[in-house]
Structure 1
Amino acid sequence: MKRVLFQISSFLMALVVLFSTFSFTVAQHYCGDDLVDFSFFGQAESCGMEIQRPSDSHKHNLEKKDCCDDVTLSISGQHDLKLSFEKLSFEQQQFVVSFVYSYLNLFEGLQENIVPFNHYPPPLLVKDIQILDQTFLI
């Protein structure tokens, strides 16, 4: 049972490390207020309604506002996972070592069931003290 619990906890910790370092980007293409396309791996495809800008004409100096919009959401993961034990001060190292030692010994069981009062007989009852003092458990 302890081995299975250890394997499950180590698998969950590996998933936490994986998802904390995982980064991704979502590209979205809006035409007006409507979402036309989105992509997890690369650029979202255009709807084809971009304004054609003539390059040789000087009459079109005023630019029209484009109705399409590209939005990119990017979530970056953690990149510095290599923590060094030497960067800790002596007191912090001492705390970590004592915590790990006490945590590992917390789940360590005894080899046999030890009863400390096994060799001592109970006292002899001369009188029934509960009846003499009239103390009864209800």
Structure 2
Amino acid sequence: MLLTLLVLFSTVSFTIEKHYCGDVLVDVSVFVEAEKCEMEALEILQKKTCCKDEINVIQGQDELKFSSFDDLEFEQQLFLASFIYSYVNFFEGLSQQIVPHKNYSPPNLVRDIQVLNDTFLI
């Protein structure tokens, strides 16, 4: 699960937009456009620029490398094949064993010998 989240977050791209009015940070926004200040409307009329926008684009990974079994070296292929073979054979079922006393029924008890001799396992 952790590796899936790692791949997901490494491939996601997003932008961080900041709006400054002078040297004061007015708004920071992720994924959407930052909110502008009221001074920017006056700047358009007066043709002065004290507001500025700063955009940081964080690029995700574009190319993912997919490896196949043939891309591995011979030693790595040998190790992987022997590991899988030993792992699969590790969970082999037990052979059917013969139980000689399967159909034997114990004799009926006439007296309880432990109670008669007062010997109990504690």
Paired residues, what number?
Answer: 89
C-alpha distance in structure 1 between counterparts of 2:22 and 2:70, whole Å: 53
Alignment of 1:43-62 (within 5 A): 43-50=33-40, 51-53=43-45
Question: 1:85–1:93: 8 Å Cα contact kept in structure 2?
Answer: no
RMSD: 3.1
**Matching residue of 1:70:** 53
Structure 1 stretches of at least 4 aligned residues deviating more than 4 Å after TM superposition: 102-111
Taking structure 1 as the reference length, the TM-score comes to 0.50
Which stretches in structure 1 are left out of the alignment for 5+ residues? 1-10, 55-62, 112-138
C-alpha distance in structure 1 between counterparts of 2:79 and 2:10, whole Å: 25
- Tell me how far 1:13 sits from its aligned partner: 1.4
Q: Deviations over 1:20-40 (max 9, x none)?
A: 111111111011121101111
Q: Does 1:98 align with 2:78?
A: yes
Change in CA separation of 1:106 and 1:32 when aligned onto 2, cut-off 3 Å: farther
Change in CA separation of 1:74 and 1:94 when aligned onto 2, cut-off 3 Å: same
Q: Which has the larger radius of gyration?
A: 2
**Matching residue of 2:68:** 85
Percent identical pairs in the alignment equals: 42
**Matching residue of 2:8:** 18
- Tell me how far 1:84 sits from its aligned partner: 5.0
Secondary structure of 2:39's match? Answer: coil
**Matching residue of 1:37:** 27
C-alpha distance in structure 2 between counterparts of 1:53 and 1:87, whole Å: 66
9, 17, 42: which one aligns with 1:27? 17
Taking structure 2 as the reference length, the TM-score comes to 0.56
C-alpha distance in structure 2 between counterparts of 1:72 and 1:87, whole Å: 44
